[in-house]
Amino acid sequence: MHSYIRPGQFVAIRLQSDQLRLIQIIPDTVVNLGRFGNFTANQIIGRPFYFTFEILDACDDAGHQLRVVSATELHAETLLADGEGDGEGDDVDTGENGIPMRTNRQINDENSSQKLTLQEIEELKREAGGAGKDIVAKLLESHSAIDQKTAFSLAKYTLRKRKKYLKRFTVLPLDVGLLANYLIEERDAQKAMELRDEHIGLIGCWGNVHHSGNVEVGEGMKPHGRYAIVDETGGLVVAAMAERMGILYPHDADEDPTEEQDPPAHNAAESQHTDEPPKPRRIRPQPMSATTNTITVIHPYSQPNLSLLKFFGYDTNNPDESHPLHTHLKSISWMQLADPNSDPLYANEPPIIPAEELAELKQSKRTAYYHKRNRWGRVKAVVDEGRAGNFDGLIVSTLLEPASVLKTMVPLLAGSAPVVVYSPTVESLVELTDMYSTARRTAFINKKRELESQSPEGEAVDLSSLHEEFVVDPTILLPPTLQTSRVRPWQVLPGRTHPLMTGRGGAEGYLFHGVRVFPTTQNIQAAGNVRKRRKVETTSTPISDRDVEMTS
């Protein structure tokens, strides 16, 4: 992730009212923040993140409309809350025990306490300068009961007015956790299956998702870092896993070693008579061409729904070739995975045209021919690679039946590969956990042995009745676990500690976790070295009423 604001990047702007807005910083455009004002995007491009800016009512001498708020001003609100700011440290009458006698019992919080009318406040908004500071000062001055407030009450009142009238905002970098919280709080959470930040962290940990390096593997070597993902959250799960794998954020153009800049020629004659050989053209990266550290998305449509990836610089409709996801993100449909010959894009291979005939074609037809051949070769390579399996992990976040997904995907995993399934409700995962339970596995093994013993020797065993009774094979997944974790904010005050009543409800969110194993075909019985217990002779102590005489 970058430490400064780049052109064309999506950033999160936190307003004084603690509201978040996701805005794309496009040069030479105006960013509108509603009632807080607007500013030109060029004034924050190149600035570090986490700076707090103040929108001025009029440009300064240098033509700047924004002012960077210093740390002293930012901490003034903290000092107000602690009773150490301006107007907060006045002496208060105390009793004999030093307890302040001023309380809020005699204060009647009504609109009559504020002498300014709504029309006068609106007039101040149009005329007052200082980015809202004059309005806050006027409101405090015209309050008739301001001297009766305690330090804590005055701080709350002042902070509330500052959040309402001060034209300040903070620019934050947009990461997966911030985007998840934004979707939960500000947007429709159901579109992302109410996936929370704590769930995303657990999915990555239980799925063992990590950066596996960019070293290309040779022939006969097993590719590593290949993860299969079924995502119906709009790309939020894919973005979270790509962030852990180090392929989510784009690289700087000046740091790309494959891109070479040609030196400018002084004149045309010098460029024509130079003896230097022309530099080779930069090889354009082919989409979905990486072999390690890759993500394979399985989807039910013609193309996956990964619209949330646009916030991280990757648009699936118009992909950027310099983005890491261009080569490391692969997609395959369920139809291609189950029956690739039913897909016309995979089954219908474009005919190969000889070189002599190809040279006689027009440029547009040759381009179309190469485009069809490259697309067919790319689709065939991705489908064959997906059907070969050997994935290092499976992550599922879908509204489909989990058992039907795992029935197809678990056999494609490598040994000891983790399986993680997220669901906003618990019912489907409880049923899935029962399918892979120890009792189910024992019944599956006994039923299979019974069918094998009944079949004649030399003939294939008919296991159709076994698969009708058991939806999934419980022997290829270790007994799974089912858990949940949701962070709830609490109010911690003496005698008033409880969860915040204004907290958002919604689904709890549950995770299913298992490990892929390969069952043995042999009948193995556990037998160990039985250690014989050593016999210890015990003597009983005689019981007598007489005293025992001790002799030396």
Count Cα atoms within 13 angstroms, Cβ side, for 135.
25
Q: Could you give the CA distance from residue 314 to residue 323 in angstroms, rounded to a whole number?
A: 7
Q: Which two tokens stand for residue 212?
A: 């596996």
Question: Residue 269: its pLDDT value, please?
Answer: 47
Q: Is residue 142 within 8 Å of residue 114, measured between CB atoms?
A: yes
pLDDT band (50, 70, 90) for residue 512: very high
What are the φ/ψ torsions at residue 170 (nearest 5 degrees)?
Answer: -120, 135
Q: Which two tokens stand for residue 518?
A: 């390969």
**Choice between 213 and 297, residue whose per-residue pLDDT is larger:** 297
Question: Residue 54: its pLDDT value, please?
Answer: 86
**Choice between 91 and 476, residue whose per-residue pLDDT is larger:** 476
CA dihedral 540, 543, 547, 550 (to 10 degrees): 0
CA 313 to chain centre: 15
pLDDT band (50, 70, 90) for residue 453: confident
Q: Is residue 134 within 8 Å of residue 128, measured between CB atoms?
A: yes
pLDDT band (50, 70, 90) for residue 152: low
**Choice between 81 and 427, residue whose per-residue pLDDT is larger:** 427
**Choice between 152 and 91, residue whose per-residue pLDDT is larger:** 152
Of the candidates 10, 47, 45, the residue with the CA atom closest to the CA atom of residue 250: 10
Q: Could you give the CA distance from residue 449 to residue 522 in angstroms, rounded to a whole number?
A: 11
Over 60: is that where the pLDDT of 398 sits? yes
Chain position carrying tokens 């405090």: 140
Question: Residue 124: its pLDDT value, please?
Answer: 58
Q: Is residue 10 within 8 Å of residue 22, measured between CB atoms?
A: yes
Question: Residue 62: its pLDDT value, please?
Answer: 61
In 221-260 the beta strands, taken as DSSP E runs, fall at 226-231
Chain position carrying tokens 């804590």: 152
pLDDT band (50, 70, 90) for residue 464: confident
Give the lowest-confidence range in 118-132, 318-332, 358-372.
118-132
**Choice between 458 and 349, residue whose per-residue pLDDT is larger:** 349
CA 349 to chain centre: 38
Over 60: is that where the pLDDT of 244 sits? yes
Q: Could you give the CA distance from residue 377 to residue 282 in angstroms, rounded to a whole number?
A: 22
Select, from the ranges 54-68, 121-135, 378-392, the one with the highest average predicted confidence (pLDDT).
378-392
Secondary element (H or E) of residue 31: strand 30-32
Q: Could you give the CA distance from residue 187 to residue 457 in angstroms, rounded to a whole number?
A: 63
Select, from the ranges 14-23, 66-75, 93-102, 424-433, the one with the highest average predicted confidence (pLDDT).
424-433
Over 50: is that where the pLDDT of 336 sits? yes
In order, the DSSP letters of 389-427 are: --BSEEEEE-SS-HHHHHHHHGGGBPTT-EEEEEESSSH
For the segment 205-227, the average pLDDT, to the nearest whole number, is 82
Of the candidates 461, 458, 431, the residue with the CA atom closest to the CA atom of residue 447: 461
In order, the DSSP letters of 87-126 are: TT-----B-TTS-B---STT----GGGB-S-HHHHHHHHH
217 contacts: CB under 8 Å, gap ≥ 6: 223, 224, 291, 292
Fold designation for 176-213+224-251+284-338+389-437+474-484: Rossmann fold (3.40.50)
The residue type found at 32 is N
Q: What is the pTM of this model?
A: 0.79
Q: Count other Cβ atoms within 10 Å, centred on residue 525.
A: 4
Question: Residue 264: its pLDDT value, please?
Answer: 47
pLDDT band (50, 70, 90) for residue 295: very high
Q: Is residue 227 within 8 Å of residue 396, measured between CB atoms?
A: no
Question: Residue 108: its pLDDT value, please?
Answer: 56
Question: Residue 222: its pLDDT value, please?
Answer: 72
Q: Is residue 286 within 8 Å of residue 330, measured between CB atoms?
A: no
What are the φ/ψ torsions at residue 511 (nearest 5 degrees)?
Answer: -125, 135
Q: Could you give the CA distance from residue 120 to residue 326 in angstroms, rounded to a whole number?
A: 57
pLDDT (tens digit, 9 = 90+) per residue, 13-53? 999 888 899 999 999 999 998 877 889 999 999 999 999 99
Of the candidates 166, 158, 19, 26, the residue with the CA atom closest to the CA atom of residue 85: 158
**Helix residue ranges, H only, 506-552:** none
Of the candidates 327, 242, 322, 333, the residue with the CA atom closest to the CA atom of residue 288: 327
Q: Could you give the CA distance from residue 139 to residue 161 in angstroms, rounded to a whole number?
A: 8
Cα angle for residues 358, 364, 368 (degrees, 5° grid): 75
How do beta strands 393-397 and 418-423 pair? Answer: parallel
**Choice between 335 and 455, residue whose per-residue pLDDT is larger:** 335
Q: Is residue 43 within 8 Å of residue 56, measured between CB atoms?
A: no
Question: Residue 265: its pLDDT value, please?
Answer: 46
Q: Is residue 241 within 8 Å of residue 207, measured between CB atoms?
A: yes
Question: Residue 16: its pLDDT value, please?
Answer: 83
Question: Residue 125: its pLDDT value, please?
Answer: 56
**Choice between 472 and 98, residue whose per-residue pLDDT is larger:** 472
Q: Which two tokens stand for residue 72?
A: 């002293």
Q: What percent of the chain has pLDDT over 90?
A: 47
Helix (H, G, I), strand (E, B) or coil at 40: strand
Stated length of the chain? 552
**Choice between 22 and 146, residue whose per-residue pLDDT is larger:** 22
What are the φ/ψ torsions at residue 395 (nearest 5 degrees)?
Answer: -125, 125
Count Cα atoms within 13 angstroms, Cβ side, for 525.
1
Q: Could you give the CA distance from residue 171 to residue 52 in angstroms, rounded to a whole number?
A: 7
Of the candidates 314, 185, 296, the residue with the CA atom closest to the CA atom of residue 231: 296
For the segment 504-531, the average pLDDT, to the nearest whole number, is 79
CATH code for residues 4-70+169-173 = 3.10.330.20
What are the φ/ψ torsions at residue 43 (nearest 5 degrees)?
Answer: -75, -15
Question: Residue 34: its pLDDT value, please?
Answer: 84
pLDDT (tens digit, 9 = 90+) per residue, 409-424? 999 999 999 999 999 9
β-partners of residue 15 are 169
Q: Could you give the CA distance from residue 178 to residue 407 in angstroms, rounded to a whole number?
A: 34
pLDDT band (50, 70, 90) for residue 103: low
pLDDT (tens digit, 9 = 90+) per residue, 158-212? 777 777 767 889 999 999 999 999 999 888 888 899 999 999 999 999 999 999 8
Q: Could you give the CA distance from residue 460 to residue 454 in angstroms, rounded to a whole number?
A: 11
Q: Is residue 418 within 8 Å of residue 513, measured between CB atoms?
A: yes
For the segment 245-256, the average pLDDT, to the nearest whole number, is 74
Every domain of the chain and the residues it spans: 4-70+169-173, 176-213+224-251+284-338+389-437+474-484
pLDDT (tens digit, 9 = 90+) per residue, 79-90? 655 555 444 344
Question: Residue 217: its pLDDT value, please?
Answer: 65
